[in-house]
Structure 1
Amino acid sequence: MIRVAIADDHQMFIDGIRSILDNVSYITIVAEAKDGLELIKAVEKENPDIVLTDIRMPGMDGIAAVKYLTENYSHIPVLALSMFDQEEEVIDMLKAGAAGYIIKKAGKDELVTAIQKLVNRGHYYSDSISANVHKWLENPEMVEELTPLTKRERQILKLIADGKTSQQIARFLKISKYTVDTHRKNIHKKLDIKTNTGLVKYVLENMQ
């Protein structure tokens, strides 16, 4: 039996996945979560064989959750499910450690195939994701050239340059302070800038 944990902030979507997988005799959903933090707690409790997670969720988003799971539960593969096939989000999720990525409009057969491949330590990516993503999968060092900062990271960087604290940014974007701090660390690392003053200078020189 393949034991699945799923995270999505829309119950209707979770119910839809459950209705699909209920018809597959060897797959069962053992945990549901509405955000990344709930997902982590569910994984700690249930130790599923695979995690299915959305990217955009309130509080801790899917990317932050996958990074945590990759670091602490590397034996559990993660399949990202999203309405979007934008290369920034796809690459960011794969960098976080997701072993697969499919679009939510995928049919039952594709979902089941993806789950099977990941449980068997393989990978699965929807055909609809961009050619650039496939190039990155073959040549990961391209990632900084393809997407130095994600859309969310650029958004947070501009707010940092405006003098906002992590708590203020979290309230403004309606996400958790933990998620903001994670993005901050990624921004500093990607840009190789160690101070907020340096980040402000980067914004003035590159993002006006």
Structure 2
Amino acid sequence: MTADPAVRVVIADDHPMFRYGLAAALRESGEVDVVAEAANGEDLLAAVERTSPDVVLTDLAMPGLDGTAATRALVARHPGLGVLVLTMYEDDQALFGALRAGARGYLLKDADRTEIVRAVLALAAGDAVYGGVVARRIVGFFTGAHRDYAERVFPELTEREREVLDLVALGCGNHQIAARLVLSEKTVRNHVSSILFKLQVSDRAAAVARARDAGLGDGGRTVKDGPGEGN
């Protein structure tokens, strides 16, 4: 009988002492091998290409390419890679942005070593892991807090505009939105135009990207509606 190989991990954080402490804690477990460290998103992408880890631990706030953008790029290139976000940010926008990008784990930096090691091993096995505070936010979002969340993320929009944006992010065209909200298509077009102006985005696709990054659009599920529509 041979021991199971250690889980190969890359750590990304722009604070050297935090990386040092985290790497030491992971290695002490005897189940994790830290194969590379990175101080920003660009270095993280290069380290993953060079070392082929099982799991990546990344902060969100890093210079240059941030953790969310790096996660999106990593998951696109390596669909089976487990990305665990380890951050100080527990707000909904950071959380749902990371999950939209493809992270399968999200812990706060006050998690203890045992919890972090357990999360790394779970991601390596293909599972998803969220800390207690984060899990409660996710449950709250899907059990009734969705409207309040949208109001906090996009306070510049009216309640009706947030409803329209949510349906746009879901993949609905103007005709479907009009039918669902019992509005005329002209009114829907006016709402969409107002949304683009208030969010300072150039087109519908950019608005959808903003909305989905913020967690709107029912998990990114799309609705068939024939040919694409303009504003």
Q: TM-score, normalized by length of structure 2?
A: 0.62
SS in 2 for 1:32: strand
Tell me the residue number matched to 1:35.
40
Larger Rg: 2
Q: 1:146 is matched with which residue: 146, 149, 160?
A: 149
Question: What's the TM-score once normalised by structure 1's chain length?
Answer: 0.69
> Shift in Å at residue 24 of structure 1?
1.4
- 1:5 is aligned to 10
- The letter of the residue matching 2:69 is A
Q: Deviations over 1:10-42 (max 9, x none)?
A: 001101101101211121100111111110111
Residues 7 and 185 of structure 1: CA distance in aligned 2, closer, same or farther (over 3 Å): farther
Q: Does the CA contact (< 8 Å) of 2:100 and 2:212 recur in 1?
A: no
Please state how far the C-alpha of 1:148 moved relative to its aligned partner.
7.9
- Segments of 5+ residues of structure 2 without an aligned counterpart are 1-5, 155-195, 201-205, 217-228
Corresponding residue SS for 1:91: helix
Q: Which of 162, 182, 187 lines up with 2:210 in the alignment? A: 187
Match of 1:100 in 2: 105
Name 2:119's counterpart in structure 1: 114
Question: Is contact 2:58-2:67 (8 Å) kept?
Answer: yes
CA distance in 2, matches of 1:7, 1:100: 15
Does 1:87 pair with 2:110?
no
Which secondary structure state, in structure 1, belongs to the residue aligned with residue 133 of structure 2?
Answer: coil
1:100-137 CA-to-partner distances (Å, cap 9, x unmatched) read 0001011011001101111110011010226342244x
Q: Which of 27, 50, 53 is the matching residue for 1:48?
A: 53
Tell me the distance in 1 between the aligned counterparts of 2:135 and 2:129. 14
Percent identity of paired positions between Structure 1 and Structure 2: 32
CA distance in 2, matches of 1:117, 1:189: 26
Aligned mates of 1:15, 1:116 — CA distance in 2: 20
Q: What is the SS of the residue equivalent to 1:129?
A: helix
AA matched with 1:146: Y
Question: Structure 1's 147 and 11: CA in aligned 2 closer, same or farther, altered over 3 A?
Answer: farther
Q: Aligned residue for 1:178? A: none
Change beyond 3 A, Cα 1:10–1:134: same
Residues in 1 aligned to 2:97 and 2:114: alpha-carbon distance in whole angstroms = 26
> Structure 1 CA distance, aligned partners of 2:56 and 2:151?
27
Matching residue of 2:78: 73
Distance in structure 1 (CA, Å) of the matches to 2:52 and 2:119: 19
Which one-letter code corresponds to 1:84 in the other structure? Y
